Homo-oligomer: A and B are copies of this chain.
């Protein structure tokens, strides 16, 4: 069972059979999947009790633990990996999986009294995950990091209503000229340029000072550069993948904070 690529599957095992596979899986950092009737206790900064019912327990290679019910995308109990220590034991027909962390001291204990399925295997996975931001994400990146548009740019507002619609980002440059920013997450065509030109016209009418228009996109189509020049508008390259990376740093922090705050629970 300790062959790294071997797959162990037990259907309706008894507790002792399951215990062997579970111990082997956890000690060899395999992905463990148990389906059965269980109850779950959590104690740490908060406390929870999940009454008996059939659920899925997953323990991943890094010790991350998830308890999933039959519905909902969120786990009912979970614990991050890394510092988690596991204890697996069986007592009077009950298989117990304890996941314990220090700092703060907390544990999740899962008790199975009927096991329908256990599987354990190692996953071979080196594939890259590439994320490309949405236009809203790109907007957020410019608000967070206005120097990515240009040094000295200061956003004033976003989704600002002007006569033909909403300006994505609206601000001033280092020379105090107004700047209207239109964002596209794909290669921008002439339609995007004309949209920006309409916004500029609307703002110019009221502003009484110089207004610049900047089209932000990962690329521009053929002949678009000429149209921009004709209309006195500018283009700034911004890559949705780079935006996603910037936000993912910020978001994983935010997620971590969220999870801290909820003390390892989520609710349907």
Contacts and interface: CB of A to CB of B under 8 A. Distances in A.
A187 interface: no
A210 interface: no
Number of copies: 2
A129 B33 contact: no
Contacts of A129: 48-51, 76
A60 B60 CA distance: 19
B58 A64 contact: no
Contact of A119 (B72, B119, B124, B128): B119
B69 A73 contact: no
A14 B115 CA distance: 26
Interface residues of A, number: 79
A53 interface: yes
Nearest to A78: B73
Contacts of A131: 46-48, 265, 267
Interface of A: 7, 9, 11-12, 31, 33, 35, 37, 39, 44-56, 58, 60-62, 64-66, 68-76, 78-81, 116-117, 119, 121-137, 185, 240, 244, 247-248, 251-252, 254-255, 258, 261-263, 265-268
15 contacts: A7-B12, A31-B70, A33-B56, A45-B134, A45-B135, A47-B240, A51-B128, A55-B125, A56-B123, A60-B70, A60-B71, A66-B73, A69-B125, A70-B123, A251-B266
